[in-house]
Amino acid sequence: MSLTSQLPALQVVVPMLTAPMVMLLRGSSLAWAAATAASVMAFCIAIALTLGVHDAGVLTYAMGGWPAPFGIELRIDAFNVLLLLITTGASSVALLSGRFSLARDLPEDRQPLFYAAWMVALTGLSGIAVTGDAFNVFVFMEISSLAGYILVAAGPDRRALTATIKYLVMGTIGATFYLIGVGLVYMMTGTLNFADMEVRLAEVTDRAPILLAAGFITVGLALKAAVFPLHFWLPNAYHHAPHMVTVFLAACATKVALYVLLRFDFVVFQGNLVGHMAQYAGFLAPLAILGILVGSAIAVVEGHLKRLLAYSSVAQIGYILLGASFGDMAGLSAAFTHMFNHALAKGGLFLVLAAFALRTSGLRLRDVAGLAHRMPLTCAALLILGASLVGIPGTAGFISKWLLLSAAFQQGPLGMVAVVVVVLSSLAAVVYVWKIVEQLYFGEPEDVSDKAATRTQASPFKSEAPAMLLLGIWVVALANIYFGLFPGFTVSLSESAAAGLMSHLP
Amino acid sequence: MEILGLYNYWVFVVLLMIGLYAVIAKPNLMKKLLGLSIFQAAVFLLYITMDKVDGGTAPIIQPGAVDQLYSNPLPQVLILTAIVVGISTIALGLAVVVRIFEAYGTIEDDEIQQADTRE
Amino acid sequence: MTTVNPILVSLLLPLVGALLISMTGRWPNLRETITLVTAVTVAVVVWSLVPEVMAGGRPELQVVHLFGDLQIAFTVEPLGMLFGALAATLWIVNSIYSIGYMRGNNEKKQTRFYVCFAIAIAAALGVAFAGNLLTLFLCYEILTLSTYPLVSHKGDRATVASARVYLGILLGTSIGLLLPAIIWTYLVAGTLTFAPEGILAGHIDGPAVGLLLALFVFGVGKAAVMPVHKWLPAAMVAPTPVSALLHAVAVVKAGVFTITKVIIYVFGVDNLFSEPSSGWLMYAAAFTIIAASVVALRQQNLKRMLAYSTIGQLSYVIMAAALLKPLSEIGAAVHIVAHAFGKITLFFAAGAIYTAAKKTELSQLSGIGARMPWTMAAFTIGALSMIGVPPTGGFVSKWFILAGAFESDNYVAIFTIITSTALNAAYFLPIIFAAWFGREVEGGKDHGEAPWPMVLALSLTALATLGFFFFNQPVLDLESQLVSQLP
């Protein structure tokens, strides 16, 4: 057996084995280096898997040599690699550029433990993305969530703790709901393998437990994915977590939950429940629309930058869900493209905030006034990332907005409502991004020392972000432009991911 | 009669609701976590009851016993994993509660919120 | 030696110039030299395209293929050639003027000013040469964003507030209305590449045409059709060279140019003509012309008055295009040029007056003709062109538009043109009269003409305004291709 065929397992094993190793390492630098190396390696594996999926279509791996449906099967198609790329990419960028930011947020002796938790979170998130087994998803989901709670609790002030407990309670309820749903499906089918469930469900005559299972699973995962109105844990968790953790979680945590939701629904339920598409769309579309509107509206009036972006995330999750709720090829591929592009834009923006936090007393809007004079390069990157979030042409955000609007136009009269909502929220995005930009470039710093620092423009680059962080920010910003001008890769990957899900429709 | 015959599911539902109620309604973080624990325990019961086959015995292969009726072992294995996950969650939750108590001097949700808004 | 595509060169040169300018910010003389050299080179490259287009050629350039039929590509056709050549040529004049203005007023952050200016010109050329709606939209947005730092140049609270209105309306309308319109077009027609007979021809009919047209017209906020005109007066907080080149030529003309292009190449003139639901556009434009003129009449600030005058003149182009007659389409194109020369002269004069005398209000201009004879002479020529008095360029375009209106027996259009001419005269002539024959208010500052680069620039554009009356044949030849393409 060549190493290549082991890649699906290695994707999970590499960070998993790194975790205890990192914990044993003494000295934060060494721990950071090991974690980063593992994360970058995971990213490379994800790229290799992408190439493999591009050639072969679907990669499968029987865990321990037990064939599916008896053993646990790892199953990787275009949708999975999209998730893997987002997850490992976000983790790598955050770790690579986050050394200073994390060193400031955390005491020296805690850092190895923190990086170990990070590795466990990465293990869980990658695990969800590779496995084809419903119970395995639950285990990995809880692994990633438990590690995620630890990462959030590492936040610098005590409110991180209350945010964590809220996150923990909600996350556990969501996971338990999912577990109930899986149990019900198992009761009726006797299998845990997604593909096998689809086949065996067709033979089940009593549909009531299945319907109940669909309900439990959808609500549970919606909680995990922070779908409106189950989003209330998210702004607090993003706000009080260490900045780099926010980068990591914002880019992938909710998207992974959405992935499970869509995979479960399309693979297992859509083909077997008559009229399920109407229930599914009728349930998700209104939530998506409300989420978009409410998230955008709160972001417009919010005065704290991290919370502002967190509420913007609530709206963006709505975009993804809206595309997915159309339940057709165009909608799904728009949703998947947006998963990728939003991770790029939002991850980058949180990186910028991390850079700001190193040089300001806080992240409220008035704290960053006039910062563009002190951090010109960081602020320039924020312009690009903000443009991508708004959906200005030439950036990645434009591509997904285009696809989403096209998909909505094809939905008939109800689609028009979606078009109006997306357009309104884009305008709201203009407002909240511009609010930040205007403060950065034209605001008058309140703080006296900041004011002096702004005025003495002897060397504007002296107070720039650390080189690695700046590099990370610009790599992400340029990636936003690259994927805006050459969207062939993301669009084709999303289309084959969507085609994979659509093939399960009756 | 049929309704009562499914009493194991009723126990599951009642425990689930008790747990969920505690999580939502109790301001005390300890009680919230207790509720969460009950909530999870209910699901464990769901899994354990589903594997029972009438007249089935423990799924252990013994010499001489042919055509033995076994209960399904898989849900038990699954729930063993879920119990481990549940324990870790509660343990982590308790650790966070301890630190909240250190930081705020209280574990009542409303008092914590007041302290936060005062900041 | 491989031939380099002149379109690519003309788009990249200003950007290279911007880069060089930003690097040479410490040496103002070198920086300004680079600006001028870039401007001249760009103009030469753009003009080098003219013979081919005149001969009926359509130079093309494909940059990136996105997905489906979406690509970023450029095609030079007569209308775009005209607009591109106009913007590139006036950039030279405007650069000369900017040097005088920025130095004369000791403006801060001059490097940023020149950099953004160069990027804006690249974007304007991109709009002019765009081969499909997507490319046009891309360049349109870059134009909006790159002009924002120019509008908010002063950086004080009032300026930032005005700049916010500017950006809010332009971005808001383009994302809120134009983008859905483009996507709708793409879904209906299956392509976005401009075609002479109109890409929507045969794909859409009934009231949907009127609705889509409305999305386009109000989505292109730069065309300033009421009620999305508020950004233009707000943009007057910018330094005058910005108002002159961008808010009398590049940006606003990009707006009307886009609408004209949409009418001809997206809807198709014939298609639109046979569709009654599109008739509202002419009336909306007519209303904007009259209303803007009335508002201009009540303005006290010179630049704001000019801004409202611009709003009215832009709607001339739209009304002409909406008449859907060959003569009026030519009139629309010619008016883009004629108004550009006239209005840039007026803004140059306004800036010169501000630099020399620090005067901005109409009431202060009494008797200024004696102190600044060159400037006021140019101002007079520009004003006459706005009214449409021969021998100025404004007369030529008005002639064609009127001819088109008569051709289609459209009495509303005829009435609008005549009324607006009277109104234009009513707000320009008193200023001119007072400037030459009025008595100066006592206690004013003693001043002469503005710095020589400014006077030179405004004299050149005034000459062009006069010259266009006599030498307009090349433009007519170029644009008659537009009409001959029409089936």
Tens digits of per-residue pLDDT, C358-377? 888 888 888 888 888 888 99
Residues of B in contact with A138 (CB under 8 A): 82, 85
Which residue is it, tokens 């309104």? A424
Bridging pattern class, strands A59-62 and C60-67: unpaired
Residues of B in contact with A162 (CB under 8 A): 100, 112-113, 116
- Inter-residue contact A64 to A73 (CB < 8 Å): no
Contact A135 B100 (CB under 8 A): no
Contact B36 A138 (CB under 8 A): no
Return the residue in C15, C66, C115 with the most chain A beta carbons within 10 A, the one to mutate for interface testing. C66
Q: B55 — alpha (psi -120 to 50), left (phi > 0) or beta?
A: left
> For position A462, what pLDDT does the model report?
65
How many domains is chain C partitioned into structurally?
1
Q: Judge B/A contact: 3 or more CB pairs < 8 A.
A: yes
Give domain status of residue C389, yes or no: yes
Residues of C in contact with A419 (CB under 8 A): 180
Phi, psi dihedral angles at B53 (to 5 degrees): -105, 135
Task: Tell me the three state secondary structure of residue A73.
Answer: strand
Give domain status of residue C149, yes or no: no
Residue C279's pLDDT band, with cuts at 50, 70 and 90, is confident
Counting as contact any 3 or more CB pairs under 8 A, the partners of A are B, C
Beta bridge partners of C74: C61, C130
Q: How many CB pairs under 8 A join A and B?
A: 73
ipTM of the complex: 0.92
| Residues in chain A where the model's pLDDT stays below 70 | 1-2, 446-462
pTM: 0.89
Tokens of A253: 């945590």
Beta bridge partners of C73: C62
> For position A451, what pLDDT does the model report?
53
pLDDT over 70 at C319, yes or no: yes
Give domain status of residue C448, yes or no: yes
Residue C444's pLDDT band, with cuts at 50, 70 and 90, is low
> For position C209, what pLDDT does the model report?
86
> For position C357, what pLDDT does the model report?
83
Instruction: State the DSSP H helix or E strand holding residue C309, giving kind and residue range, or none if neither.
Output: helix C302-323
Contact A169 B97 (CB under 8 A): no
Give domain status of residue C54, yes or no: no
Q: What Cα–Cα distance (Å) separates residue A374 from each residue in A360, A379, A457, A484, C25?
A: 11, 9, 8, 29, 18
Contact A186 B75 (CB under 8 A): yes
DSSP code per residue over chain B = -HHHHTHHHHHHHHHHHHHHHHHHH--BHHHHHHHHHHHHHHHHHHHHHHT--TT-B-S---TT--S--B--SHHHHHHHHHHHHHHHHHHHHHHHHHHHHHHHS--BHHHHHHHHHH-
Q: Judge A/C contact: 3 or more CB pairs < 8 A.
A: yes
Give domain status of residue C93, yes or no: no
| Selection from C16, C1, C138 nearest residue C73 by Cα | C138
CATH architecture of B2-51+70-118: Orthogonal Bundle (1.10)
Task: Tell me the three state secondary structure of residue C359.
Answer: coil
> For position C1, what pLDDT does the model report?
38
Residues of chain B whose beta carbon is less than 8 angstroms from a beta carbon of chain A are: 16, 20, 23, 29, 32-33, 36, 39-40, 43, 46-47, 50, 75, 78, 81-82, 85, 88-89, 92-93, 96-97, 99-100, 103-104, 112-113, 116, 119
Residue C196 at interface with chain A, using a CB cutoff of 8 Å: no
> For position A460, what pLDDT does the model report?
53
Residue C30's pLDDT band, with cuts at 50, 70 and 90, is confident
> For position C210, what pLDDT does the model report?
86
Distance of CA C40 to the CA centre of its chain: 20
Q: Name the E strands within chain B.
A: none
Residues of chain A whose beta carbon is less than 8 angstroms from a beta carbon of chain C are: 387, 390-394, 399, 401-402, 405-406, 409-410, 419, 423-424, 426-427, 430-431, 434, 438, 442, 485-488, 491-492
> For position C287, what pLDDT does the model report?
92
Mean model confidence pLDDT for chain C: 86
